[in-house]
Amino acid sequence: MDSHPAHPEIIKRLKRAEGHLRSIVGMLETGRGCLEVAQQLQAVERAVASAKKTLVQEHIDHCLEQAVRDGTSRPDDTIRAFRQLCKYL
């Protein structure tokens, strides 16, 4: 399996967001204020968006670029993969 240098950091961010999200569920269950819950949801949303951005950037830098450099992917296939990836931005 190819090495993805940013994956451990992405996993760490997502696990932290997962725990944070669980605490938000608890906040709702205990009747905490909507403003406080909304602020916490915003924080989780930012964390997930940051993880996604890092994953996409790494895929471009590591996977797509390397495939072209190594000749393991035709340029047209790489462009097609890039276009598919852009749907998630």
User: What are the structure tokens assigned to 40, written together?
Assistant: 């916490």
Structure confidence at residue 1 (pLDDT):
43
State pLDDT tens for residues 30-49: 999 999 999 999 999 999 99
Confidence tier at 2 by pLDDT (50, 70, 90): low
Put simply, whether the predicted model's pTM sits higher than 0.85 gets the answer no
Q: What are phi and psi of 87, to 5 degrees?
A: -65, -20
Position 16 pLDDT exceeds 70: yes
Domains along the chain?
7-86 (1.20.58.1000)
Closest CA to 20 of 54, 53, 59, 51: 51
Beta-carbon count within 10 A of 24 CB: 19
**For residue 17, what are the contacts with CB-CB under 8 A and spacing of at least 6?**
44, 47, 48, 51
Going from the C-alpha of 74 to that of each of 2, 30, 57, 78, the distances in angstroms are 19, 55, 20, 6
